[in-house]
Amino acid sequence: MSEYADIIIRNLTLYSFRNYLQNDIVHLLFSKLDYVCIPNYINTTNDEDSKSYTKHMYKTTVQKAKERLDALGFTISRFETLFNQSRNEAIDYSPFLFKLNIDYDSYEEIIKKRIDKYVTFKKWINSINKIIKYELKHGRSYPFINDDKEKMGIRTECDKIIYYSLKEDLMESFYGLKVEVIPIAYILRLILESCEPVDEIILDFTYLSAWAEDAIPKGRLAAENDEKTIVLVEGTSDKEILEFAIAKFYPHLSDLFYFMDFEDGYGGKRGGGASLIVTNLKAFYFSKLKSKFIAIFDNDVEGYQSKCSLENDIKNWSDNIKIFLYPQDKLFKSYPTLLPNGTICNDDINKKACSIELYLPDSIIKENEVFYPIEWEARRKIKNGSDEEYLYQGVITHKEEIKKKFISMRNKIEAGNQPFIEEDWKRIKKILDTIVFAFTI
């Protein structure tokens, strides 16, 4: 006798597992931080004499799951492109055409005609929304009873394609789409669009223990994600700051990213700086590695020059590689700079002097309520495509003091002695958003 575990949103059974959880599905919605263990749990809804047991589950929200799928690149906009490119092959029309008593040998020709006439991505979204809204409220009977069709308001062509696909529970499709053509992650992402952001997504896999002793240990590993996006930054400070911040802003996404190390834990070290990012990224590109890579440079002259160099040398980077500068901010439009005669003058320091330190909370880069100024260094020529420009490289003063202040604040926050105030870290969050949602377009 098999055992089952379901992903549930309200009354909607989103996905069912038989005997064991599937890593390739679980990690799309949940991180290992979403695992919940409740010892001595008693289900009071069934029987007053119920015995206690240990409950094993994953729990997240729709909003977090949407962000996770987006960060993995399974966005609605990408889904639309894929849907429009492959809809003839992707749509599971067979259950509906069978219902219409159409001869199987005519399916291919009829499918093309009916899709051209009746099916668009917008209509597909509307139908998914209609059916999911119904299931969220009422659930779904297996198989559908006759009343369901009328209650759900099944009228359009897209409604009927999805409805009859779900009605035929043995068909190898998911909500009317063949998963070998449209990855299931895209379909899940579209379904979540019809749910409320605060809706809980729950996967209780407690009862899988009745199938096998290893079902629970394996279930606890099912949210592990081995295919991380590799992020290349210029130095150890960048790595430390961004790893700390992503754990605060996006703990449910932090397992999707690996900030490339500068030390191996055994005394081995590698160099940093923009030039090393350039060298490493080119090596990854020419090695034709399939992993996702993000190279993100300081928003200063050296970083800008390196980004331009990469884009000048290789015109068409593969889709698994993204190249960015740290984002601009209104603070940097008019920031204190130190002139050679010692006077302070506000200047636009974008693409000139914005290293990771400039994105830290104001209290870290200020002394006596005054920002630490930028000190100008060498003048450099930047070639951006066919254009050339000359910019001065700038560096924030008191870098060592800033680093000490960051470490002190981080340690206090992690020890629970100081709150993490998101507004204070808003500039760092801009960097994180650039990284986390790099593959959403």
Let me know whether 321 and 194 are in one domain.
no
Are 127 and 266 found together in one domain? no
Same domain, 401 and 300: yes
Per-position DSSP letters for 372-402, written without gaps between them: PPEEEEEEEEEEETTEEEEEEEEEES-HHHH
Domain containing 47 equals 4-221
pLDDT for position 142: 60
Burial of 44 (0-12, 13-18, 19+ CB in 10 A): exposed
Residue 12: strand, helix, or coil: strand
441 domain residue, yes or no = no
Please indicate, yes or no, if residue 86 is contained in any of the structural domains.
Answer: yes
Which of 6-10, 45-49, 154-158, 183-187 has the least mean pLDDT?
A: 45-49
Determine the longest span between alpha carbons in the chain, in angstroms: 88
Question: Structural domain tally of the chain?
Answer: 2
- For residues 201 and 267, membership in a common domain is answered with no
Mean pLDDT of 127-133: 97
340 belongs to a structural domain: yes
In a domain? residue 369: yes
147 and 24 assigned to the same domain: yes
State percent of the chain over pLDDT 70. Answer: 96
| Cα-based distances in Å from 435 to 33, 233, 278, 295, 422 | 20, 11, 17, 9, 18
pTM (two decimals) = 0.92
pLDDT of res. 270: 73
Do 265 and 241 share a domain, yes or no?
yes
The whole-number average pLDDT for the span 130-138 is 95
Is residue 370 assigned to a domain? yes
Burial string for 91-117 (b: 16+ CB within 10 Å, else e) reads bbbbbbbeeeebeeeeeeeebeebbee
What tens digit of pLDDT does each residue of 323-347 get?
Answer: 999 999 999 999 999 998 889 999 9
Q: What is the mean pLDDT of residues 201-224?
A: 96
Tokens 């849907």 locate to 83
Give Cβ neighbours of residue 170 (< 8 Å, ≥ 6 apart). none
Final residue before a domain boundary, out of 201, 221, 241: 221
The pLDDT of residue 140? 80
Round to whole Å and give the CA distance between 417 and 210: 44
**Cβ contacts of residue 288 below 8 Å, gap of 6+?**
none
Structure tokens at 145: 């009873």
Q: What angle do CA 253, 256, 258 make, to 5 degrees?
A: 120
For 67, residues 6+ apart whose C-beta sits below 8 A from its C-beta are 250, 252, 253, 436
Q: Are residues 192 and 244 in the same domain?
A: no
So what's the pLDDT on residue 169? Answer: 65
23 versus 1: the higher-pLDDT residue is: 23
In the structure, what pLDDT confidence band is assigned to residue 47 with cuts at 50, 70 and 90?
low
Q: Of 168, 191, 221, which marks where a domain is finished?
A: 221
Q: What are phi and psi of 327, to 5 degrees?
A: -70, 160
273 and 174 co-located in one domain: no
Verify that 211 and 277 share a domain, yes or no: no
Query: Does the pLDDT at position 146 exceed 70?
Result: no
Percent of the chain with pLDDT over 90: 80
- Encoded tokens for 210: 């009745």
Return mean pLDDT, the chain. Answer: 93
Res 48: pLDDT: 60
Which of 221-245 are b and which e, b meaning 16 or more Cβ less than 10 Å from the residue's Cβ? ebbebeeebbbbbbbebbbbbbebb
